Chains A and B, each alone.
Chain A
Amino acid sequence: MTGTTGGERPEVAVTPRTCVGTGVCAFYAPATFELDERGRVRIATGPGEDSAEDIGNAAEACPTQSITLSSTDER
């Protein structure tokens, strides 16, 4: 369940199992996160891009820590 957002942006991984469907992540970074039919997080497939700050805000604010980031140059 890992999606890359490219450019300077961090590598993003989500854990749907712990997600409770608050939509906090999609508020901060709507082009990166969305909810599936069961209301669990997944990497968004739509167009558009979020800034690294937006994605960072989403990961930080997720109430269940279901989003992890790793910067591309660490890998």
Chain B
Amino acid sequence: MLLEEISRLDPDKIRTLFDTGGEYRRAISGGDYVEDFHTDLRRARESGPVHEGCVEEVLGLPRPEYAQRWTEPAFSAFDYATVNAVFRDDETFNSQILRGTFATFGPNILGMDGAEHARHRAVVQPSFGRAAMRWWTDRWIAGITDTLLRRVEGRGRAELNLDLCALLPLLTITGSFGVRMAESLRLREVIERMIGADVPREDKLAASAEAADMLLPLIAHRRENPRDDLISRLVRERVRDEDGTLRAVTDEEVLAFARLILTAGSGTTWRQLGITLWALLNNPDQLGAVRRDRSLVRAAIEESLRWEVTDPTFFRMATRDALLGGVRIPAGSRVALCLTAANHDPSRWDAPDAFDVFRPLRPHLSFAGGPHVCLGMHLARAEMTVALNAILDRLPDLRWDPDEPRPVLMGLQMRGPARLPVVFG
């Protein structure tokens, strides 16, 4: 049933929707960037933990289009201690800057601060906790992974970026909403338009409304006819208001949250799984070790997150004058936090630019830190764990396709490989 629904998904549409190398990404920022990212970041960090300008400017690139719209001064941080401290000090550096998402998503936790953030995050935290991961895996991740791999395992070759990495996280989330597989691609298309960097504002608002047209009837339906899915869980939750009273969560709140996790949870996990496979395929000895000793799957995923997180830059706004890494930051400034640079801080990791699944585990900042630490971190890890184990079980002797060009990691945001052409068996 799942297999049938998935096999009917339009391959051309999948290709355009998950086009890592193409136009869409170029429009966002540094889509073409394939230089030696880690060397560039090391140079930046070595010349000081905090610099004036956005990350692109510090790396010597032109100020990207999206940053030309900023009216406030910008600074960028590159070392572990500073990035970690900013994430944790949400009074001095808050998430106000992310309130821009409210117009299209609806009010959501990404742009909330302090007590308001805590009250709303508490509503959704239980559904994404470690205890919920058995449900996520048994109900969605395992079946979708199985179905996607069944389509390729007999062929001896695959393009894992589209055949598996792109679809698993999207279908996990839309599946958990109760959206039919055939509708999932349309929902992603709409959500991509809603957040597109070069999409006119009125088109973004139209896309946001279109997402509402798809999701609100579903939310209303689950209130009356609960099923074993995420929306049915969320509509049963209660929100604590500012005055302490408990009330039912509204349909609009569930809708805003659904729009948020569609954007936060599908593209990220897709590209991070791709990066993990890319790094292992380029290090066949480590791939072999992980295949033989599955306790290394966890290490491989954490090392992939540390070494090359797909979204390397997040932002905060200074609420007051501050001193950061010796640099004066005026109130109202934007502070870019470069997670990849922080994750390569040599004061914390030996030979940080090497991908090494055997290094001792130390917490990285790829899921951020402090109150906004990624809500979906356990889910992302569960998806990547199931997928990696299934690939190692079912695609023996996995290696790059010798007849295809080796893919590179691209982009200054939304980094990832454009393709993952492999052969096996």
Q: Which residues of A come within 8 Å of B, CB atoms?
A: 20-24, 26-28, 35, 39, 53-54, 57, 60-61, 63-64
CB contacts (< 8 Å) of A53 on chain B: these are 360-361
The interface bits of chain B over 362-405 (1 if a CB of A lies within 8 angstroms of the residue's CB, else 0) are 11000001110100011001000000000000000000000000
Q: Which of A23, A57, A61 contacts B378 (CB 8 A)?
A: A23
Given contacts A21-B126, A28-B363, A63-B371, 16 further A-B contacts (CB under 8 A): A20-B118, A20-B121, A20-B122, A21-B122, A22-B373, A23-B129, A23-B130, A24-B373, A26-B130, A27-B381, A28-B361, A39-B122, A39-B129, A60-B363, A61-B363, A63-B88
B125 contacts the other chain (CB 8 A): yes
CB contacts (< 8 Å) of B122 on chain A: these are 20-21, 39
B131 contacts the other chain (CB 8 A): yes
Q: Which residues of B come within 8 Å of A, CB atoms?
A: 88, 118, 121-122, 125-126, 129-131, 360-363, 369-371, 373, 377-378, 381
Residue of B nearest to A58 (CB): B363
CB distance from A23 to the nearest CB of B (A): 4
Judge whether B363 and A63 touch: CB under 8 Å: no
Residue of A nearest to B365 (CB): A61
CB contacts (< 8 Å) of A21 on chain B: these are 122, 125-126, 129
Residue of A nearest to B132 (CB): A23
CA–CA, A60 and B118, complex, Å: 21
Judge whether B125 and A39 touch: CB under 8 Å: yes
CB distance from B179 to the nearest CB of A (A): 26
CB contacts (< 8 Å) of B130 on chain A: these are 23, 26-27, 35
CA–CA, A26 and B130, complex, Å: 8
Judge whether B131 and A35 touch: CB under 8 Å: yes
Greatest chain B CB density within 10 A among A21, A54, A57 is at A21
CB distance from A57 to the nearest CB of B (A): 5
CA–CA, A35 and B360, complex, Å: 26
CB distance from B380 to the nearest CB of A (A): 12
CB contacts (< 8 Å) of B381 on chain A: these are 27
Pick the 7 closest A-B CB pairs, nearest first: A61-B363, A23-B130, A63-B373, A63-B370, A23-B129, A21-B125, A57-B363
